[in-house]
Amino acid sequence: MTLQEYDYARESPSKLAASCLLLALTMKNLGGWTPTLEYYSGYHSQDLHPLVKRLNFLLTYQPHDKLKAVRTKYSHRVFFEVAKVTPMDMLKLEEILKSC
């Protein structure tokens, strides 16, 4: 989804990937940013929080009238229907990120 948005072009690919991973871990309730993830990614959890919030906002308020191909593709079970995952409530995400 970020490939379709110019606002994310200025982010480094590694930071974007790390932020996506942290958001996915949080959404699926699989834990937080571990010391191992911090070591291998080079990012502290706090460094990723602003981008994680922006990514969740993108998922929450995505326009449904354009660029439907990506959403349709990732709604298929071959791709584990990740496009159908409900975004997190922004306040709940904020609380979880503060505790990390």
pLDDT digits (tens, 9 = 90+) for 37-58: 999 999 999 999 999 999 999 8
According to CATH, the superfamily of the domain at 1-97 is Cyclin-like (1.10.472.10)
Q: pTM of the prediction?
A: 0.86
Measured at the alpha carbon of residue 92, what is the angle toward residues 74 and 76, in degrees to the nearest 5? 10
> Residue ranges of the domains in the chain?
1-97
pLDDT digits (tens, 9 = 90+) for 1-29: 888 788 899 999 999 999 999 999 999 99
Query: Hey, what's the torsion of the CAs at 40, 45, 51, 56, to 10 degrees?
Result: 110
CA distances from 53 to 14, 76, 87, 88 (A): 17, 26, 11, 10
